[in-house]
Structure 1
Amino acid sequence: MDTASTPKLAFTTIVSTLAYLGLAIQGSGGFPAFFSHPALTVVAIATLVMAGVGLVSAANLSAGEREDRGNRWVLAAFGIIGLLSAWLPAYTDRKGFWVFDGDTVRWGGVVLYIAGGVLRLWPVFVLGRRFSGLVAIQPGHTFVTSGLYGVIRHPSYLGMLVLSLGWALAFRSGVGVLLVVLTIAPLIARINAEEALLRSQFSGEYDAYCARTYRLIPGLF
């Protein structure tokens, strides 16, 4: 199996990662201010490591054999919220606006950020070429029902939420937490679109899988 991202996705990953960190550094008041916090230094390193790991995956932006193009608006929503999340938590941290007190919150955010990043990336390698940035059925598409997928159907999206919450808390930012909440609506729309497409492709087999698993959080959702 090919284990390298497509050039388009690799370019997007590199640019978006550098832009994300750049906005956070600018919001913090520059390099000295940002890296004066050991917790944020760890976050920056973890961000670069996660981006590097993602580059050697087989994730892609392919529309495959069949795509739900009506769901592409979600990518724009994620992009807008992502840009705000990159800059606003750092800025409010610097200004002391609506922040949680203490380095314990920062380091707790670091732990969540790294744990969420692992959970976000792990399914990328499990799914390989089936993992697309678009809601699409890929050639030879099958769905995984073992491991973590035997409990929850969208572990990567759960990782995305945990990672985003960790980022907000690393900056002690209440505004950042609010942005995580705003992410939930487009995320649910994305999940609904994916499940509808998979249900149309695999019919009763996918219905049976859904009946014995949770979408995101075991016992809750």
Structure 2
Amino acid sequence: MNLALRTAVSMVSGLVFFGLVLFLPAGTVHYWQAWVFVAVFSVSTFVPSIYLAIRHPDALARRMKAGPRAETRPAQRIIITVTFLAGIAVMVISALDWRFGWSSVPLWLVITGDVLVAVGLVAAQLVVVQNNYAGASITVEEGQPLVSTGMYGIVRHPMYAGSLVMMLGTPPALGSLWGLLAVLAAVPVLAARLLDEEKALTDDLAGYAEYTKKVRFRLIPGVW
């Protein structure tokens, strides 16, 4: 299957996925927060994907090689599975919250959530532009260079930082506050993936150990 067809299939599959995890728990399609979220998510991933397909097709192919079977480290197969389930939990809980009115989210906070989703997703995609070897699975390829400038000069894992921003924005974007509890539960899983990845990079990527001494913070500047 060529890259363009794989990209199209991935996007259609994503829309079906959102339909299942958002509108089914909500019990209706008259859920405007979910429609706006899906639109923001789709545009924030579709436009950068088109750019990558044109300018950096190899990088896009790496991004699309995802899931437990794409991982070479046993621990990562478990972590990525739990991460996927946590992402589903965030959206399902948020949709149920909206349906049953467990929390009240004002319009300004819904908009703020959508902005965070867009910023997080676009930032994660920009990482791929800066580092073409940044894939969805943890591998170190032959000849892979160490990138230490740009966003990599701020935190060691800017792609995860963008993903965290997106995750934090998702519940309020969907009209939920209770969904943030699921996000908090997912943070240790993200940290576990990050720490295991650092072990692989220290072992296999030349210069990474020295880089960790130069850039101290892994995920959040000034915090960790």
Q: Give the TM-score normalised by structure 2.
A: 0.81
- TM-score, structure 1 as length reference: 0.82
Distance 1:108 1:95, change over 3 A: same
Of 113, 116, 126, 2:117 maps to 113
Take 2:158 and 2:221, find their aligned partners in 1: how far apart are those partners? 11
Q: Does 1:53 align with 2:47?
A: yes
Look up the equivalent residue of 1:105 and give its one-letter code: L
Unmatched tracts of structure 1, length 5 or more: none
User: How far is 1:215 from its partner?
Assistant: 0.5
Aligned to 2:24: 26
Q: Is the 8 A contact 2:140 2:205 kept in 1?
A: no
Contact residue 37 and residue 174 of structure 2 kept, 8 A: no
Q: Which residue matches 2:79?
A: 74
Distance 1:212 1:5, change over 3 A: farther
Cα distance change, pair 101–79 in 1 and its aligned pair in 2 (3 A): closer
Superposed CA offset, 1:150-201 (max 9, x none)? 1111111111111111111113323210111111111111111111111012
Runs of 4+ with >3 A deviation: 4-7, 9-14, 53-57
* Of 151, 164, 167, the match for 2:167: 164
Secondary structure of the 1:174 match is coil
Letter in 1 for 2:169: G
- State the alpha-carbon separation in 1 of the partners of residues 5 and 199 from structure 2: 26
2:4 and 2:190 mapped to 1: Cα distance?
23
Letter of the 2:46 counterpart? G
Which of 206, 209, 212 lines up with 1:210 in the alignment? 212
Relative distance call for 1:115 and 1:51 in structure 2 (3 A) is closer
1:55-204 → structure 2 map (5 Å cutoff): 55-56=49-50, 57=52, 58=60, 59-61=63-65, 67-97=72-102, 99-128=103-132, 130-202=133-205
CA distance in 2, matches of 1:76, 1:43: 23
Alpha-carbon spacing, 1:24–1:115, altered in 2? closer, same or farther (3 Å):
same
Structure 1 residue 27 displacement after superposition: 2.7
Structure 2 residue identity aligned to 1:34? Y
Relative to structure 1, is the Cα distance of residues 185 and 23 closer, same or farther in structure 2, using a 3 angstrom cutoff?
Answer: same
- Distance between the aligned counterparts of 1:111 and 1:132, measured in 2? 24
Question: Across the two proteins, how many residue pairs are aligned to each other?
Answer: 208
- Distance (whole Å) between structure 2 residues aligned to residue 85 and residue 154 of structure 1: 22
Q: How many Å separate the matches in 1 of 2:106 and 2:115?
A: 15
CA distance in 1, matches of 2:200, 2:5: 23
Say if 2:157 and 2:219, in contact at 8 Å, map to a contact too: yes
User: In the alignment, is the contact (CA less than 8 A) between 2:18 and 2:38 conserved in 1?
Assistant: no
Distance 1:200 1:26, change over 3 A: same
What is the root-mean-square deviation of aligned Cα atoms in Å?
Answer: 2.5
